[in-house]
A and B are shown apart, each in its own frame.
Chain A
Amino acid sequence: MDRTGTPLVELKNISISFGGVRAVDDVSLDLYPGEVVGLLGHNGAGKSTLIKILSGAYQRDSGTIRIDGKDADIRSPADARRYNIETIYQTLALADNLDAPANLFLGRELTTPFGLVDDARMEAETRKIMARLNPNFRKINDPVSALSGGQRQSVAIARAVYFNAKILIMDEPTAALGVHETKMVADLIQELKAQGLGIFLISHDTREMMDLCDRVSVMKNGQLIGTERVEDVTEDDILSMIIMGKNPKAAA
């Protein structure tokens, strides 16, 4: 893993408060192309909040975000998309009443020369990308509420892949999935990584994180406990960081 060039993403001294609670407290993180950085911590440790600042869902109180070494002004999800940041949310952020193509292109519909939405073209594009990501995907015209967890997840991932994400944020992408579907997502992460995407991954599953990530960052009570390369630490080290909030290497 080469970490000598310019990082794809640099988060510097990010803080945000909600009604007096510092949800994220002076956190700095970076991410290189082709790298997977895992974010670990208890519920309420601030992982999702931090990541929502990068994806534009929340606005930071202080700190800077750099993309490719340049200051990035991210105030809304639309801004984040302009920097090729795509997010796959824990809650799957799909409109259940719409079908897969409508969800895949939501907010970025393909249109005809008259400015009307071009459903046929969006459906054709959806079939193409689904043939690549999840060949078993059949229910193109059904509302996504009729799909299984894995199929819904593949719609969310297809959205990120179709729009050429450079930075992908995955918030517990396998939480609702079965064994086979989890494997599918893991394979996909490896493929995207090989294509040079940078991925932030949030999960509670320490073992899974050791397998998928290049580095892991642990948060507790809004603060960053430490960031370690997975080859330098054991699963127990990480667990103690999560639980004790102390970095065993720093203590040593």
Chain B
Amino acid sequence: MTDVTTPAARPRRGWKALDLDTRLLGMIGAFIVIAIAFDIASGGRFITPRNLFNLTIQTASVAIMATGMVFIIVTRHIDLSVGSVLATTSAVMAMTQTSLMPDVLGLGLGHPLTAWVAILFGIVTGAAIGAFHGYLVGYLAIPAFIVTLGGLLVWRNVAWYLTSGQTIGPLDETFQLFGGINGTLGVTGSWILGLAASVITLWALFAARRNKISHEFPVKPMWAEVTVAAIAIGAILGFVALLNAYSVPSRVLQRNFAARGEVMPEGFTQGYGVPISIVLLIVVAIVMTVIAKRTRFGRYIFATGGNPDAAELSGINTRMLTVKIFALMGVLCAISAVVASARLANHSNDIGILDELRVIAAAVIGGTALKGGIGTIHGAIIGALIMQSLQSGMAMVGVDAPLQNIVVGGVLVLAVWIDIVYRKRTGAKD
């Protein structure tokens, strides 16, 4: 942590030359421990392609919102309304698909544009709600806690009002592709995606190294670069192989063949591959990480979180920044609403209930500091994965519902305490 980064300093040796993020490793370690524990407790049912596939699609919705919550918490705000905003945007999208497009515009059910128009409306709605929250927080100086506590009630019931409390469905078939099991890339598509991701990773590592050399900054030894690249590519391809290993049940395949008027060949199998909702999560994660690390917008978010006065004195319009951050959160709620409602194949009144707590917990377990200035996108996503694996692991082992929530609540507090101890040990002041 000291002066290893200056040209005069010694290069790092051995294990330290890898320059890995120990906090990230800790979280991945925690996930592995949880997975192994549940696997033993459930008699080997937790670490199976089927369960891990389900785990990823259950995590997607909360993880997408958690990336936005990182920015909110980093700027010392909070958003308690995300579950309700998800419900309102979901309601808008459901109404667009089942009422506006087919009946009002007379396009009928199953029009190819329906899903896309619905998603567009959902995102615009989410952005508008978020921007409105941001305006109240940034320009009228109402604390975010209060604005979004109000929003929690308001948007939950706007959704109810819009749909008259009915469950709206079934949703458009194209729309349902974003839900998880109904839309996957298939085995070949998944391998293509995995290979493309590997190539991009290699290129990014290479470009970063070349850039450092051009400025005469110290670089890692070559073996360390190769090791990091191997770990990254191994993780990508391993993830693809895992999702490909979950085969479509044979009776579903038989039904598909029968629908096309064919007979299924003997011994035919087909893997699901990477769900489209996960592709969406990966795209969101990459875009949000680039925003956080490589744009002025992201730089200002972290500067404002670290010292709001300094940010303002540096000429940053912190009020407008607040509007933008909340608008972004609204957009991510809408994207989550696509995933959540598509997974259930309809919009129901209780969609997204208690999601605000899961999303905040994911961000905080992922290392986002509530006093602002610190947080990472990948941390929040792993936080969401840890929360979801606890929840579904306990359900699998047969823990009673009240006990499940008691454990999840306890784990949240414990995780934050471990985080505080970790920060003290590593000597960071924040």
Residues of A in contact with B (beta carbons under 8 Å apart):
55, 57, 76-78, 81, 87, 89, 91-98, 102-103, 106-109, 111, 115-117, 119-121, 123-124, 138-143, 145-146
* Residues of B283-319 whose CB lies within 8 A of A: 290, 294-296, 299-300, 302-307, 309-316
B310/A106 in contact, CB under 8 A: yes
B309/A93 in contact, CB under 8 A: yes
A77/B215 in contact, CB under 8 A: no
**Which residue of A76, A93, A138, A143 contacts B6 across the interface (Cβ within 8 Å)?**
A138
The answer to whether the Cβ of B217 comes within 8 Å of any Cβ in the partner chain is yes
The answer to whether the Cβ of B1 comes within 8 Å of any Cβ in the partner chain is yes
Q: A123-B217, A124-B215, A138-B3 are in contact. Are A94 and B310 (CB under 8 A)?
A: yes
Cα distance, A139 to B211, chains bound together (Å)? 20
Which residues of A sit under 8 angstroms from B9, Cβ to Cβ? 138
Cα distance, A57 to B5, chains bound together (Å)? 35
**Which residue of A93, A102, A109, A121 contacts B313 across the interface (Cβ within 8 Å)?**
A93
The answer to whether the Cβ of B424 comes within 8 Å of any Cβ in the partner chain is no
The answer to whether the Cβ of B374 comes within 8 Å of any Cβ in the partner chain is yes
Contacts across chains A and B counted by CB atoms under 8 Å? 104
Which residues of B sit under 8 angstroms from A98, Cβ to Cβ? 299, 302-303, 306
Not counting A116-B295, A140-B5, a sample of 12 additional A-B residue pairs whose C-beta atoms are within 8 angstroms of each other reads A78-B315, A95-B304, A95-B307, A98-B302, A106-B316, A107-B311, A117-B296, A120-B212, A120-B217, A138-B6, A143-B428, A143-B429
- Which residue of chain A is the closest to B427 with respect to CB atoms? A146
Cα distance, A123 to B5, chains bound together (Å)? 11
Which residues of A sit under 8 angstroms from B8, Cβ to Cβ? 138
A139/B296 in contact, CB under 8 A: no
Q: Looking at the assembled complex, report how far the CB atom of A245 sits from the nearest CB atom of chain B, in whole angstroms.
A: 30
Q: Looking at the assembled complex, report how far the CB atom of A231 sits from the nearest CB atom of chain B, in whole angstroms.
A: 35
Which residues of A sit under 8 angstroms from B305, Cβ to Cβ? 97
**Which residue of B215, B306, B430 contacts A123 across the interface (Cβ within 8 Å)?**
B215
Question: Main SS of the interface on chain A?
Answer: loop
A120/B215 in contact, CB under 8 A: yes
- Which residue of chain B is the closest to A156 with respect to CB atoms? B310
The answer to whether the Cβ of B122 comes within 8 Å of any Cβ in the partner chain is no
B314/A142 in contact, CB under 8 A: no
**Which residue of B215, B217, B299, B374 contacts A102 across the interface (Cβ within 8 Å)?**
B299
Task: Show 16 residue pairs from A and B whose CB-CB distance is below 8 angstroms, ordered by the A residue.
Answer: A87-B313, A96-B373, A96-B430, A97-B305, A98-B299, A98-B306, A107-B314, A116-B294, A117-B299, A123-B217, A139-B5, A140-B6, A141-B5, A143-B429, A145-B430, A146-B429
Q: A102-B299, A116-B290, A120-B217 are in contact. Are A97 and B373 (CB under 8 A)?
A: yes
B314/A93 in contact, CB under 8 A: yes
Q: Looking at the assembled complex, report how far the CB atom of A93 sits from the nearest CB atom of chain B, in whole angstroms.
A: 4
Cα distance, A98 to B292, chains bound together (Å)? 13
Cα distance, A77 to B3, chains bound together (Å)? 33
Q: A96-B373, A97-B306 are in contact. Are A77 and B430 (CB under 8 A)?
A: no
Q: Looking at the assembled complex, report how far the CB atom of B295 sits from the nearest CB atom of chain A, in whole angstroms.
A: 6
**Which residue of A91, A106, A140, A146 contacts B311 across the interface (Cβ within 8 Å)?**
A106
Q: What are the 6 closest A-B residue pairs judged by CB atoms, nearest first? A: A95-B306, A97-B306, A78-B315, A97-B373, A107-B314, A95-B303
B313/A89 in contact, CB under 8 A: yes
Cα distance, A93 to B313, chains bound together (Å)? 7
B212/A93 in contact, CB under 8 A: no
Cα distance, A141 to B3, chains bound together (Å)? 9
Which residues of B sit under 8 angstroms from A96, Cβ to Cβ? 306-307, 373, 429-430
Q: A76-B315, A116-B295, A142-B1 are in contact. Are A94 and B212 (CB under 8 A)?
A: no
Cα distance, A120 to B215, chains bound together (Å)? 7
Cα distance, A124 to B2, chains bound together (Å)? 19
Q: A97-B305, A97-B306, A140-B5 are in contact. Are A77 and B314 (CB under 8 A)?
A: yes
**Which residue of B215, B313, B316 contacts A57 across the interface (Cβ within 8 Å)?**
B313
